[in-house]
Structure 1
């Protein structure tokens, strides 16, 4: 039995639907993958404030081997002082082609396998990718959040959808990302005079709280420490 199945979670109809998706045959085509996104996006919870004080924060990233279909899912768990308390990786062959907007279907299997290898259960997931800032409002952070039930934030290095103004130069400045006249995230400045990162809600956390956690976990670098370390781990031998 997997780690995300044995945690304490509400056992309602929505929860059973999300777990059922794990056991179904993995999508093979873009149309099948988009259908999964359409089915699951109604389960995303965007109205909860989410955790304020977090004991364990996990960063998730995926590394791609050159000239190979191998992907490495990497997770690093940090405590409230941003010290590493656990980490795990899972390497396997990608089960889905490289299609923009559907990266989750290449990355989820290895990330879920790495999650299953953790010995410290995280309270918050920060993933290198998008959440609500996605063509179907269901990026990797939303997908991970629905499948695990955990508060999840998407933090990307580059913009993917929508438009935004350039935020002011100071740390903590931000500008909304607008897609189809809706706010789907923020371009957030984590360091003075450094390019912003692109933050979007994944699951069970507000946008204000998501940005607060991103700033909390970026004491020295542009990227949040959990995903910066997960990126390094994903490229390790």
Structure 2
């Protein structure tokens, strides 16, 4: 995965999230402000103080609200990383690292060619993703934000006993256990990525998390078919 230059644009609706409706409202407001309303019945009503206004959809369970073009523009995220972004990058590096430990066992212990190829694909994807997240942290002063991230409680992580069982397993026993543990591992990664889409603020982290969701969700489907 390549690191894309950080921008301050509003993020697109690849995954539904609470911030998107406000961002779209802001874009709409800015567009309306540049047009001649002409006084028609379809023109946006002006708020007190003048200028067009738009209705911004509320967060889930909350009512919509009317805001001016200026207010809508201010509601756009500035793209600065927040705690959720840093937490995701630090924890996902560790999470992906365990996946690589598991895939390294497959060439010698797996019986199924499909399992071996799956392990190769996982390793080929997650190695570069670790590099990308490390690069992002390096470019965003990540060392100052590495404390306080509990890696032991990450969803989907295999326990020490489970990894020991996987290291001892061979043939079909390895195949079954690998698919079981890796499916749960991927589900945990999707959970973490979904959380940062809802809580984070940085467009590069959003793009990385969206890629994780798309790729690992597809692999979960394949592993379930193989199991």
Q: Same fold (TM over 0.5)?
A: no
| Larger strand fraction of residues | 1
- The TM-score with structure 1 as length reference comes to 0.21
Greater gyration radius: 2
Q: Which structure has more RCO (C-alpha within 8 Å, separation ≥ 6)?
A: 2
